Amino acid sequence: MNIQKETLSTEELILALENSKEFAFETVFKFYYTNVFHIARNYLGNKENAEEITQNVFFKLWKDFDHISEVNNVGGYLFKMTRNACLDFFKHEKVKHDFIQNTKKSVDLQYVQDDASALLLENELLGKIEEGINLLPEKCRKIFIHSRFDGLKNQEIAKMYSISKRTVDNHIAKGIKHMRLYLKDFATLLLFCSTIYIGILSL
């Protein structure tokens, strides 16, 4: 590990500042960049994150560079800046991780709640449909079930009961009219029903 142990002296820093602020900053940057990077990498264990922290440290240093002459030990000052930046990074990552986990739990829970609610609504609707169908006259009920649940064509039902297709049509129309009236108070439930239930009530 090639961490520099030397410290840029106050005299050297002042001489650099006498040249220009930019020259002094470049001097500090070249002298301490490797140190700052390795300190950050030791904390974070990750090259990419360490490079980002190093850039942030020197960016912050540049913003406050007008007061650099007040710093007695530039190396120690940068060490504290780097350590604090790494600690802030850890805090940020923890907050982000907690947020993601909590959001995921919230979303998962919402899906569970939505699924449970949908299932309750569907079961309630099925119960109401069954109640309504059971109120139909026997023959009308059987024909309606054959048409809407068994998937038989009207002509097939007519042949099964030895009646005309027109009679079957009338029974189905009667059943649909009855079911629409019976379920009119459950419009909200019908918003959640699948197309199969919509098909029950369509001509």
pLDDT digit string (tens) for 61-112? Answer: 888 888 887 777 788 888 888 888 888 887 776 655 554 455 445 444 444 4
Domain 10-98 has CATH 1.10.1740.10: yes
Which whole number is the average pLDDT over 140-158?
A: 87
- Which CATH code, of 2.30.30, 1.10.260, 3.40.525, 1.10.10, is assigned to 135-200? 1.10.10
Within 8 A by CB and 6+ apart from 75, the residues are 7, 8, 32, 35
pLDDT at 118: 53
Neighbour tally for 32: CB within 10 Å: 25
pLDDT at 4: 44
Name the residue ranges covered by the structural domains of the chain. Answer: 10-98, 135-200
Distance separating alpha carbons of residues 148 and 154, to the nearest angstrom: 10
On the question of pLDDT at 145 being above 90, the answer is no
pLDDT at 101: 57
Q: How confident is the model at residue 43 (pLDDT cuts 50, 70, 90)?
A: confident
Which whole number is the average pLDDT over 107-129?
A: 57
Which amino acid is it at 88?
D
Greatest mean pLDDT among 13-17, 96-100, 105-109, 170-174 lies in 170-174
Distance separating alpha carbons of residues 2 and 45, to the nearest angstrom: 16
Burial, 197: exposed, middle or buried (Cβ in 10 Å; 0-12, 13-18, 19+)?
middle
On the question of pLDDT at 147 being above 80, the answer is yes
